[in-house]
Structure 1
């Protein structure tokens, strides 16, 4: 499986929240966000919790539950935004879904490169 670097930017991490508070990131510092995203990519606990509350959990696309136990996330404050460097073998569809659960649409993909 190929690995990719996703370079993301979060304009206002302190106010970045997913639509559902049960799954949303509830913090403001880059280090804790990086840890939360890394955990969400390394195991399927967040996905399974979200899936369980869907109207028809069995109809949810199982590929969204993929994990990468070796995913690495680092996040740091840069100027007035947070820069996130994510290294994973997961496809963008999975990364996007976990990000939306955690921080909604408050992020922007800046670059994507093969690792």
Structure 2
């Protein structure tokens, strides 16, 4: 398991590029819950995959999940910090975060 320490400086801008796949909430608890859900099941991946020009050609390894993933969010110094613990590799975490909240997140540390 890896713990990713993430920060979002501006929750107003924490939106993915596609409104149908994007985070639509307020606050660190909702953000953490949505991030954890995106890692635990493949619903976000399947919705994204269906929107691709050739869904059958999408690399199925992008859809892996971690049923034990967990996340916790909190406000800290004017930003939202999220601690995500998962067995998923960074390439999967990054893909799902980008779908949910675009480029508004920053990886601060890993453990």
Deviation at 1:85, TM superposition (A): 0.4
TM-score (norm 2): 0.97
3-state DSSP class of the match of 1:26? coil
For 1:46, the equivalent position in structure 2 comes to 44
1:6 maps to which of 4, 7, 13: 4
Within 1, Cα distance between the matches of 2:57 and 2:69?
Answer: 27
Deviation at 1:63, TM superposition (A): 1.0
Within 1, Cα distance between the matches of 2:48 and 2:63?
Answer: 10
Return 5+ residue gaps in structure 2 as ranges. none
Alignment of 1:55-66 (within 5 A): 55-66=53-64
Deviation at 1:15, TM superposition (A): 2.2
Deviation at 1:16, TM superposition (A): 1.0
CA contact (8 A) 1:15 1:28 kept: no
Instruction: For residues 6-42 of structure 1, give each alpha carbon's deviation from its aligned partner in whole angstroms, at most 9, with x where no partner exists.
Output: 0011101122100000000011201001111111100
Within 2, Cα distance between the matches of 1:61 and 1:106?
Answer: 25
Runs (4+) of structure 1 exceeding 3 A deviation are none
Please tell me whether residue 18 in structure 1 is matched to residue 8 in structure 2.
no
Task: Kindly tell me the number of residue pairs found equivalent between the two proteins.
Answer: 111
CA RMSD of aligned residues (A): 0.7
3-state DSSP class of the match of 1:86? strand
